Structure 1
Amino acid sequence: MRLTVVGCAGSYPGPDSPASCYLLEAAHQGRTYRLVIDLGNGALGVLQQYVALADIDAIAISHLHPDHYMDICGMYVYRKYVPGGPLPRIPLWGPSGSADRFAEAYGLPIDPGMTDELAVQTWVEGEPVNLGPFTVTPRLVDHPVQSYALRIEADGSVLTYSGDTGPTSALVEAADRADVFLCEASFTDDPDNPPHLHLTGTDAGAAATEAHVGRLLLTHVPTWTDHELVASEAKAAFAGPSELVEAGGVYEV
């Protein structure tokens, strides 16, 4: 698998990065299959630096906060109105209520909403989904809305994406012995951090240690958070290789 960090800013787009968006690519049936994970605000424009929008094969949405899905609106416009279109429906997996939320975000009638452009299907806890070369297993994690960590396997390699979550054993299980753990770290250590919302660098490092992952990639750090402190907290809690991702970063898994 090849992972490209399209956007990694936490909670809202930052000056150097869109909100959450990741491109996963792997060989499949003689070509490259492209899976987009999350499509937060600001991501659609930058995504086009790495892939033509018509060449995206599937989309996976971790949860329905705008910094993880709002640019679905632009994707809908592209697929509906591109010259020579409309394009065939693209598979999209997300939490329950995704199709209605997308329609509401663009001011469309719920029926049909965007369903002529997006083949929206709902994650089921622990039930694997096959998308080209990828097997994606969603695990429900700890966030104010229905939010999933995604364990993604292809050709013997494993990448786990945390989505947004507070500390939970489900995240550790999703990341078990993953080659790469792409994990949010929105907070620094502070007893006043709100519960059931996000991780600190320490939390991310502790989860990586417990899950015995190969490499920890820290993401979703808001602009207002001390990035270097998040990174140092993670390094203190995880002895393996770890780093903060940046928009444009590319990783082989």
Structure 2
Amino acid sequence: MRLTVVGCSGSMSGPQSPASCYLLRAEGADGQGGLRTWTVVMDLGPGAMGALLNYVDPAEIDLIALSHLHADHVADLVGMQVYRKWHPAGCLPQLDVLGPAHSLQRLRGLDGGDARESYSQEFAFREHDPAQPVQVGPMTLTSFPVRHPVPAFGLRVTGPGERGGEVTVAFTGDTDTCDTLIPLAQDADLLLSEAAFQEGRDQVRGVHLTGKRAGAVASEAGARRLVLTHLQPWTDPAVVRAEANEVYDGPIDLARAGDDWYL
């Protein structure tokens, strides 16, 4: 399984990166006796649609998973709809979108188009259900509700490892500390954790993690690697990384657009 950072800027697009967007790919059976690459996109924030075109043909995406419906995680779903509907070769096949309740209504609000537009040709929307994992080729996605001002979900994705066996990527989405984060991240090979807040600077709770809180989750869950993401343009990444280092002794990376991890 391969994780690629398409965009990692927190709360808005930044000078060096689009907003939240992550690409997961894995080789698996195509159902016809062969193999193919299966592709999941997690979030599609501002600036991500254009950057995504550098990595994958939108016709080859199998699922878009939306962690929550804040604009910095979903705004470029509008661009994906336009691309799929108006492609010169014809409308692309319907694409599954996994998201919170009312994802379709959120798209309509962002798009501002004709109220009669159903988007049914471009997308098939389905809701996160923690009791019902979603299978995408060789990858299994399990949703975990997390702590944010709007309904939000983290994703635990298991798939084939580069050296055989099964590997796990855990993505927190946007969240503060909550009871579901440990099972979400338990023994993950890679924990992709937001760390939008900074210790001593951001006092409000129930919105975001700090580097220290993300590190504490990684440590308690036994995650093998921590990747810190969703840092706003005004935040010094070195400070957030140092916070995580106080409580987690495993490898820590700072997400950058274009980064890859092969698991």
Q: TM range, normalised to the smaller chain?
A: over 0.9
In the other structure, the counterpart of 2:260 is 250
Counterpart of 2:181 (choices 167, 171, 174) is 171
In the other structure, the counterpart of 1:227 is 237
Say whether 1:27 aligns with 2:27: yes
Distance 1:243 1:91, change over 3 A: same
Q: Secondary structure of the equivalent of 2:180?
A: helix
Give CA-to-partner distance per residue, 1:27-83, whole Å, 9 cap, x none: 022111111110001101111111122221211110001111110000000100001
Q: Secondary structure of the equivalent of 1:169?
A: coil
8 A contact 1:102–1:113 mirrored in 2: no
Amino acid across the alignment from 1:211: A
Q: Secondary structure of the equivalent of 1:114?
A: coil
In the other structure, the counterpart of 1:154 is 159
What number of residue pairs does the alignment pair up? Answer: 253
Whole-Å separation in 1 of the counterparts to 2:202 and 2:59: 45
In the other structure, the counterpart of 1:95 is 100
Say whether 1:128 aligns with 2:162: no
Distance 1:213 1:221, change over 3 A: same
Whole-Å separation in 2 of the counterparts to 1:110 and 1:27: 39
Q: Which runs of 5 or more residues in structure 1 are unaligned?
A: none
TM superposition score normalised by structure 2? 0.93
Q: Secondary structure of the equivalent of 2:92?
A: coil
Deviation of the 1:84 alpha carbon: 1.8
Deviation of the 1:103 alpha carbon: 1.4
Whole-Å separation in 2 of the counterparts to 1:11 and 1:212: 28
8 A contact 1:182–1:219 mirrored in 2: yes
8 A contact 2:182–2:217 mirrored in 1: yes
In the other structure, the counterpart of 2:14 is 14
In the other structure, the counterpart of 2:4 is 4
**Identical amino acids, percent of aligned pairs:** 44
* RMSD of Structure 2 on Structure 1 (CA): 1.2
Counterpart of 1:48 (choices 53, 68, 72) is 53
Q: Which runs of 5 or more residues in structure 2 are unaligned?
A: 30-34, 161-165
Deviation of the 1:108 alpha carbon: 3.3
8 A contact 2:5–2:259 mirrored in 1: yes
For 1:44-83, list aligned pairs within 5 A.
44-83=49-88
8 A contact 2:172–2:192 mirrored in 1: yes
TM superposition score normalised by structure 1? 0.97
Say whether 1:214 aligns with 2:230: no
Q: Secondary structure of the equivalent of 1:108?
A: coil
Whole-Å separation in 1 of the counterparts to 2:131 and 2:248: 26
For 1:178-193, list aligned pairs within 5 A.
178-190=188-200, 192-193=202-203
Whole-Å separation in 2 of the counterparts to 1:42 and 1:126: 32
8 A contact 2:59–2:93 mirrored in 1: no
Amino acid across the alignment from 1:8: C
Q: Secondary structure of the equivalent of 1:136?
A: strand
Whole-Å separation in 1 of the counterparts to 2:202 and 2:155: 28
Distance 1:109 1:171, change over 3 A: farther
Deviation of the 1:208 alpha carbon: 0.3
In the other structure, the counterpart of 2:163 is none
Q: Secondary structure of the equivalent of 1:243?
A: strand
Deviation of the 1:125 alpha carbon: 2.7
Distance 1:191 1:4, change over 3 A: closer
In the other structure, the counterpart of 2:91 is 86
Q: Secondary structure of the equivalent of 1:10?
A: coil
Deviation of the 1:111 alpha carbon: 5.3
Q: Secondary structure of the equivalent of 2:38?
A: strand
In the other structure, the counterpart of 2:214 is 204
Q: Secondary structure of the equivalent of 2:5?
A: strand
Amino acid across the alignment from 1:198: H
